[in-house]
Structure 1
Amino acid sequence: MCGNNMSAPLPAIVPAARKATAAVIFLHGLGDTGHGWAEAMASIRSPHVKYICPHAPIMPVSLNMNMSMPSWFDIIGLSPDAQEDDAGIKQAAENIKALIDQEVKNGIPSHRIILGGFSQGGALSLYTALTSNQKLAGVVALSCWLPLRTSFPQAAASCTNKEVPVLQCHGESDPLVPLMFGSMTSEKLKTIVNPANIHFKTYPGLAHSSCNQEMTDVKQFIEKQLPPC
């Protein structure tokens, strides 16, 4: 169901304005595509950074009465105790790790790659980074949660990203992924990653979306973690 993404179209890419010496891989939310986030990244781009916004495969989603839509893995429910798509999450993470491998083969070392995402994409970016043996430059987690959280920190035992900087952002008025989920995720991350590297920012009045201040914070984080070589 969630194979190697061969069925999904090629990612939306914002190429570097000059030679790419760093990359940002950003994963969209449920039912979306990479195009909108590619536009958002283009508005905050750094000239030496390549931005890759892949599209999730189409699959039935339990939460939406099994309607087929772009989804990185199945979502059964949104409550903290809801059943999770264990196999689907792990397979999706392997697909993203393969995408990182491809960029490394293209000449960008993993420590010059930031992985990020919004909502379901942010959840997958956190899980992927925390179970990866590829050393990353940072993680951007917007309006999201940590999947399979009860499996941590054991699942991160061989992770090389114990010191990875994480920018976690959340709207204070989010009705879909409540702020409480973000707060719980931030506290959980501090048991897995160096707590000094977890940066949790909240935005008054922001629902399940992004805002100019958040994008400014994302831009500053990317510029700090991926300076020009």
Structure 2
Amino acid sequence: MCGNNMSAPLPAIVPAARKATAAVIFLHGLGDTGHGWAEAFAGIRIPHVKYICPHAPTMPVSLNMRMSMPSWFDIYGLSPDSDEDETGIKRASENIKALIDQEVKNGIPSHRIILGGFSQGGALSLYTALTTQQKLAGVVALSCWLPLRNSFPQAAANSANKDMHVLQCHGDADPLVPFIFGSQTAEKMKGLINPANITFKSYRGLPHSACPEEMVDIKRFIEKQLPAISDE
């Protein structure tokens, strides 16, 4: 973990208002940081939930003429047949699994953790949840796609998350990650986990960003999957 992540600062954290008995780990998109998402979650915070928004390491990104920027893995192109950075995706996924393990050591069991992300971060959260043996409470996947999709269902063979709940959200006016990518990802997911547990929501006129209506839907999903524990 240390060797791969030295260039990334400590995560932005919104602490629980009381004892944290659940956590949301949320991964930002390409070129962003965790700070904006930490602010967004502060606006919909639930008292017993801790929100962790890590920052991606800085690396050259092929899609952006090899300019260095925060990125979870390299992106070669945005078309469905573009090559993918398999090594980078798998390495990033291992780093996220280590982050989940750290929260478990801190006293929050993995089944009380929701993993999520926006765009590239959402893609990484889906891949990680489908390939980990850590049982999660669910996934929030915003404006994203499933990376290395042709490696599934084999890649999910040992996953502990066949019954996890997934909230997938996508704007129907997204010029960067087209809406069809999101809807096709939801269909692919239905073949990998219990299809009854997948909710796909579209937002009219929304570009490659989030909106207040979406944040309310996310809050409701978190409340449902991470209810308060009675002895808090």
**TM-score bucket of the superposed structures, by smaller chain:** over 0.9
Aligned to 1:105: 105
Deviations 1:142-166 (A, max 9, x none): 0000000000010000001000000
TM-score (norm 1): 0.99
Q: Distance in 1 between matches of 2:3 and 2:210?
A: 30
Deviations 1:162-197 (A, max 9, x none): 000000000000000000000110000001010000
Q: Secondary structure at the match of 2:199?
A: strand
Q: Distance in 2 between matches of 1:198 and 1:82?
A: 26
Q: Distance in 1 between matches of 2:22 and 2:29?
A: 23
Aligned to 2:214: 214
Give the count of matched residue pairs.
228
| Residues 10-89 of structure 1 mapped to structure 2, 5 A cutoff | 10-89=10-89
Deviation at 1:6, TM superposition (A): 2.4
**1:133–1:160 contact (8 Å) kept in structure 2:** yes
Q: Secondary structure at the match of 2:168?
A: strand
**1:139–1:166 contact (8 Å) kept in structure 2:** yes
Q: Distance in 2 between matches of 1:118 and 1:176?
A: 12
Deviation at 1:3, TM superposition (A): 4.5
Q: Secondary structure at the match of 1:51?
A: strand
1:159 counterpart = 2:159: yes
Deviation at 1:57, TM superposition (A): 0.1
Deviation at 1:7, TM superposition (A): 2.1
**1:75–1:85 contact (8 Å) kept in structure 2:** yes
Aligned to 2:225: 225
Identity score, percent: 81
**1:3–1:91 contact (8 Å) kept in structure 2:** no
Q: Distance in 1 between matches of 2:6 and 2:67?
A: 21
Deviation at 1:5, TM superposition (A): 1.3
| Residues 120-199 of structure 1 mapped to structure 2, 5 A cutoff | 120-199=120-199
TM-score (norm 2): 0.97
Q: Secondary structure at the match of 1:59?
A: strand
Deviation at 1:54, TM superposition (A): 0.1
Aligned to 1:5: 5
Aligned to 1:92: 92
Q: Distance in 2 between matches of 1:136 and 1:67?
A: 34
**1:13–1:38 contact (8 Å) kept in structure 2:** yes
The RMSD of aligned alpha carbons is: 0.8
